[in-house]
Amino acid sequence: MRSLALIPLFLFLILSGCGPGANGLSSSTQDDPQVRTPNPNPSAQTYFSSCESNDPEVHCIGLKVVSFENQSGNPVLKESETLKLIAEMNEVWKTCKVAFQLEKFQSLQPESVGLPYSPDWKRDSDSIRAHFDEDNRFLIVAVGPWTNSTIAVAQMPGNGPYGVLVSEKYAKNPYTVGHELGHYQGLYHLRNKKNLMNSYIGPLTSGLGSAQCAIARRTNLRYWQKMLRGRGALL
């Protein structure tokens, strides 16, 4: 079990995309000029809402999303695209009463901190995770194109640094990133073309079964208490 936890899990190819927007909040950003604070004007108000719920069973998980920028300054994931992605993933995960909220969004040219825009996932994943990992939020890093057919990786609970890395082509896909968040929450692959944890992601791979929900929720309580917000964190 422990040895499996050390193995980064990865997916290959094929996806579809789609869906609406989500919400988040930000805090203690003064020390980091690369972290954007939410616009306080009324039109940005929804940005402050969150997945915290009066339902004590909801696991509301804080997210930090880092988007790499290419040399022209174009981010793999824009902030608006990140919010949309999270809303779409929340649709997938709501069957488990698990939801995510954006708390920090950072867009930067990775070379400015000594990291490659197009990483080799075997060589670079841990250094990227270690650079951005925080102990109270799940981490998603949208990187440039990779050098092989892997499209996303996640570290299972048990041995950090933690974080999902997803290559640019799939960074907006809620089934790809949602699948990786499944690994984050202790789920392994399942052979089922309608399940989120199928190793090949396609237009129908969005399902989660009750046994998977139970594992994810148990994992969250065991490993990710610091990531949980609201009343769900107290149970």
Q: Applying CB under 5 A, which residues contact Zn ion?
A: 9, 11
Q: Which two tokens stand for residue 151?
A: 């499209």
Of 103 and 180, the one with the shorter C-beta distance to Zn ion is 180
Specify the residue for token string 């917000």.
229
Contact 103, 149 (CB under 8 A): no
**Rg of the Cα atoms in the chain:** 16
Q: Report, in Å, the least distance between residue 211 CB and Zn ion.
A: 17
Of 105 and 170, the one with the shorter C-beta distance to Zn ion is 170
Phi, psi of 53 (to 5 degrees): -140, 155
* Helix, strand, coil fractions of the chain, as percent rounded to 5: 35, 20, 45
Of 9 and 181, the one with the shorter C-beta distance to Zn ion is 9
What is the rounded CA–CA span in Å between residue 148 and residue 130? 22
CA separation (Å) from 133 to 119, 141, 147? 17, 10, 23
Q: Report, in Å, the least distance between residue 179 CB and Zn ion.
A: 6
Q: Report, in Å, the least distance between residue 9 CB and Zn ion.
A: 4
Of 11 and 66, the one with the shorter C-beta distance to Zn ion is 11
Q: Report, in Å, the least distance between residue 178 CB and Zn ion.
A: 11
Q: Report, in Å, the least distance between residue 71 CB and Zn ion.
A: 30
Q: Report, in Å, the least distance between residue 11 CB and Zn ion.
A: 4
Q: Please list the alpha-helical segments (H only) found in the chain.
A: 2-5, 79-93, 121-132, 174-184, 210-223
Of 11 and 128, the one with the shorter C-beta distance to Zn ion is 11
Of 58 and 171, the one with the shorter C-beta distance to Zn ion is 171
Of 11 and 228, the one with the shorter C-beta distance to Zn ion is 11
* 3 state SS of 216: helix
List, in sequence order, every residue forming a beta bridge with 107; answer none if it has no partner: 67
What is the rounded CA–CA span in Å between residue 138 and residue 94? 17
List, in sequence order, every residue forming a beta bridge with 124; answer none if it has no partner: none
Q: Report, in Å, the least distance between residue 16 CB and Zn ion.
A: 17
For 233, other C-beta atoms within 10 Å of its C-beta total: 18
